[in-house]
Structure 1
Amino acid sequence: MPPPFKQSFLITGLAFSAGLGLSGSCQAQSIEVPNGLPEVPHVVYPEVGLPNFTVPAGTVQQIGGDGKVIQTTQPVSTGSDSLQTLYSRSWGYQAADNASSLGVNPAALAATCQVESGCQNVYTATGSGHTITGAFQMANGTYSEEMSKALASNPGLASTITSGTAGQQDPATQAVAAAQYMKEEAMTLQAQGISNPTALDTRAMYNFGSHAGAQVAQADDSAMMSDFISSTAMSNNNISSGTTVGEWRQSTANKMGTGASAPVLQS
């Protein structure tokens, strides 16, 4: 029997060799695991933008200094810079409502107000011979006549206006008569072949009377203003003798703002 120390050495050597073999075998079959989660594709979904849309017209509350609601409706209308001027006045929303109740576009009313007075409640009457006054610059006779027609067609307006000629200096009241006048002018032009009269189309009638105004509305741009209105009317309105209809239209449209192209009658 070999000495004990040789047996011990042999067993130890075998164990060491087996350990090396086992270790080599484990290393050959092992896999490397990356630090952290493996990389995977990330799908990106681009955000879809909002489509074009029109904000629907709603209502606006106008609040007085005492906290009470004065006005809750905002008439639907063609956009107009003069319309914004009208709405900026304390009486503007009521004037627009009154026009709408007669079937008149508030933007067209505002364009007329803009060119007449800058939508200011001006007092320009100088006596019985000259009673033209107010935001819409109406004479007492025309105002009273048109107001009577408006109230006959819509009696409910009586509760919103100032009675008598005192209403001339209440712009929301005067707007009723002005809108009625514009409505009649537009209907006259429709009967004469202008299918959808604008504020500019009716402007000459409001300014120079129905007969001459209708002629101007239907005239070519190259025609002379002096062919249709008197020299006195031209002088009173700062229109020179050489002014063409087209030049007058452009000058007037500039004063009326974009509301000049607004249809007078609401569809």
Structure 2
Amino acid sequence: MIIVIDALNKHLFDGVLDDMFRLRARVFGDRLGWDVTIEDGKEIDRFDHLDPAYVVGLDDDGNVVAAVRALQTTGPHMLADVFSDILCGEPPIRSATMWESTRFCVDTQRLNRGKDRNSVSYATCELMIGSLEYARRAGISDIVTVIDPVMDRVLKRSDNAPYDYVGKTVPMGKVPALAALLDTGEERVERVRQFAGIAHDVFLSDDEALALFNRTHARADEDAAGATPLERYLKEQIQAAVGEEELKAVQSLIEALAGSLDPRRKQGLLDTPKLVAREA
């Protein structure tokens, strides 16, 4: 389910944006190793202060599971000002009908590897559909996007292959980066819909998105308020764990302390996304 957040409605979605910035920190800072600024667990850069539009994916429980940022190319943008090495000395693309799409990310901790509504594949395709349809409705005919080779393969596998590329591939953190061009035509969107089996309208209204997000976070706040010091400690250890071995160690500790935990809360700890669906 897709919500669009821009300068007109962002005051309503502080919580959604905070969760989105936390997801970006995990993906671009932790997993990809890009040179990004992370403060208080959130990845925010100077382009986020230019009132971009965000296309954000929520799962059925109201969790932020996918996001991408859209920025005009007529002003400052990442390909011109951060990834300029990709351009090989050529001037940056500037057009009123072309947006830059960056920070495309999906929560591979929370989502599974199948093809159902709670899968990485579904969330990825839904976000593609939402961003393309939103851009077309805004009068944008083309998108330039800075991606890594893995994302390039994802685009091709989902029948959403770029129609061209700009410049060259350059090193960026743990992976290379390249710039791809996509049109926003109906044919492209239909190909992605056919691949993913998504025929319905993917967008939520502001009210629908707020109700879903707030209901989920209200439950989380209630659970946190009722947690014992031991449960809070275990939760913190889950969130701080790095790598497979540390996660297994926390899981073993939870099992060893099962007699001191409420059975429902024990299962809740074991079902924490970082334990059951770790970052690839």
**Is this a same-fold pair by TM over 0.5?**
no
Relative to the length of structure 1, the TM-score reads: 0.24
Relative to the length of structure 2, the TM-score reads: 0.23
Query: Which structure has the greater CA radius of gyration?
Result: 1
Counting helix residues as a fraction of each chain, which structure ranks higher?
1
Counting strand residues as a fraction of each chain, which structure ranks higher?
2
